[in-house]
Structure 1
């Protein structure tokens, strides 16, 4: 069979994956804290029809003759670029102005927290600060954050500390929201719900280590902005442009297959 036909099939599979990723990006264009992904390609091992010969005293060198066997997806990268800020004036809506991540535990006994950039938090009936899915937002000690029942109001400061106003008019500092800095954010694993799982390629040995307070200059996590949310970093202009490229690439590879089929048909008709 013709090698070009299999190359076309490989190309179509790659561009189908690219379209899948673009579709997911566009679907999450308004998802809080969402980070877009991109697809990168690489060529498949080439078939050598003639090897390399080195130059000698009597003749020059000859380059190899190789026929490529198509392409494949080399990586699907998550682009951890900052999304645009949306002002909500809701005191429990938080945005990290930097590279840090909020830490969330889906259960009180969970050891390693999940990470997220989505700061649309709420206070439940037990006065816990939770995500929209009920996950506990944790402090620098890894324990769930609870609003004191003596508080008539509270606010989150830029350093992550909860400033509580009591019924008698006094103010007091409460728990401090814990944030994490990841060496390689692209190594985090998406698990849905705008959450990421820590992996050994994100931090050494998969050990997140301790959480720090926002605004720590040595950690480089960035400070917290209350009353704002970080929106998706998806740019529709880029996505629709990439969609056109992927569509045309898919069509071009399908044309390779139909052209190869026409050639095979011509070969079969030689017997008539």
Structure 2
């Protein structure tokens, strides 16, 4: 009778653990990157008993109850959810983000809620740990924008023109020719074009800064189209207090010279200089590369997110805060999104919990029934003991 109570108690204890696992799963149904667990059960040891038989003895086996082996993490991918935050990222496929704490401890997570701290380091919004990327040698390094918050100015080197330069015009002036120097300052120049006497289709091009001539050159047209050998003019412009800027005036594309009377449509199409810019946006592409956008229209690439992957579920364990730690380092490898079996990165999204409530509720019913049955065995065995003691007292 006492054995029966002990055996039923192992059932109560085991189903209580199962309820605890289900409780933890359901409590984290909205936790980003959370992975559900399931409890493994096994039967306990057995003892042999003897029962009579025709040819001697049968070896009977009597069990001693229920044992719990441990929990198993389910790494099935959860659904992707839009957040509207460009720095939130999710891994579509295999891989976990690599996070490093202040003490140097390395953890892994499917929770991609990130932000840049005041030092410019990319950190986990949940734990504050630094998010690791891969440097040029493939080694782990922190992802930082400390030196990338501004975009330097770029001096103009080419000014392109478009439109028609009337072949019968006596002169043509194109104003508002913008030139940006290395310091990012803007200068407004002009270009004057005068036909070359006695050489049809040839024009003298003069770049002017106010009334000061910066430089001159000659361009030519053949049947109204630019002569490839004479379609550009090279000059050197020296802004006040700045170093000389080599400039190319390009008339080779989208420029014609047909007879349109005294009207010409020649104008500046573009110039390739840019002023300084501030960082306006940071996001990640599908390979996990940091893409930075600046107010001057320029973009730059930063570090690439590092991802970790394990080859055996026995090599990983939960540590809380949506993170996991390495149990067996031999079963782990590090890489980047899109390479060597690692998944791609989705920016502006997070992976939500993979908890399946319908499955959890089904398991909950099973645990409840098992617990009720075990408690009934305890009650029944206790009643039988009570009857036994009552018989002795008679």
Does the alignment reach a TM-score above 0.5? Answer: yes
Q: Secondary structure at the match of 2:133?
A: coil
The one-character-per-residue Cα deviations of 1:108-144 (angstroms, maximum 9, x if unpaired) are x61x521000011112122211112211001023211
User: In the alignment, is residue 27 of structure 1 matched against residue 150 of structure 2?
Assistant: no
Matched residue, 1:257: 378
How many residue pairs match? The answer is 257
Matched residue, 2:15: 15
1:75 Cα offset (Å):
2.2
Q: Which of the two has higher C-alpha Rg? A: 2
Q: Secondary structure at the match of 2:391?
A: helix
TM-score (norm: length of structure 1): 0.88
1:62 Cα offset (Å):
7.6
Task: Flag structure 1 segments of 5+ consecutive residues without an equivalent.
Answer: 52-58
Match of 1:213 among 321, 336, 339: 336
Matched residue, 2:111: 118
Distance in 1 (CA, whole Å) between partners of 2:314 and 2:287 is 26
1:63 Cα offset (Å):
6.0
TM-score (norm: length of structure 2): 0.62
Contact 2:314 2:327 in 1 (8 A): no
Task: Flag structure 2 segments of 5+ consecutive residues without an equivalent.
Answer: 151-278
Distance in 2 (CA, whole Å) between partners of 1:63 and 1:227 is 68
Distance in 1 (CA, whole Å) between partners of 2:33 and 2:298 is 35
Contact 1:78 1:186 in 2 (8 A): no
Could you say which structure has the higher strand fraction?
A: 2
Q: Secondary structure at the match of 2:6?
A: helix
Distance in 2 (CA, whole Å) between partners of 1:73 and 1:252 is 18
Distance in 2 (CA, whole Å) between partners of 1:98 and 1:62 is 59
Distance in 2 (CA, whole Å) between partners of 1:145 and 1:128 is 6
Q: Report matched runs for 1:37-186 at 5 Å.
A: 37-50=37-50, 64-107=59-102, 110=104, 113-132=106-125, 133-140=127-134, 141-147=139-145, 148-150=148-150, 151-186=279-314
1:60 Cα offset (Å):
8.6
1:168 Cα offset (Å):
3.3
1:263 Cα offset (Å):
0.8
1:2 Cα offset (Å):
2.9
Matched residue, 2:250: none
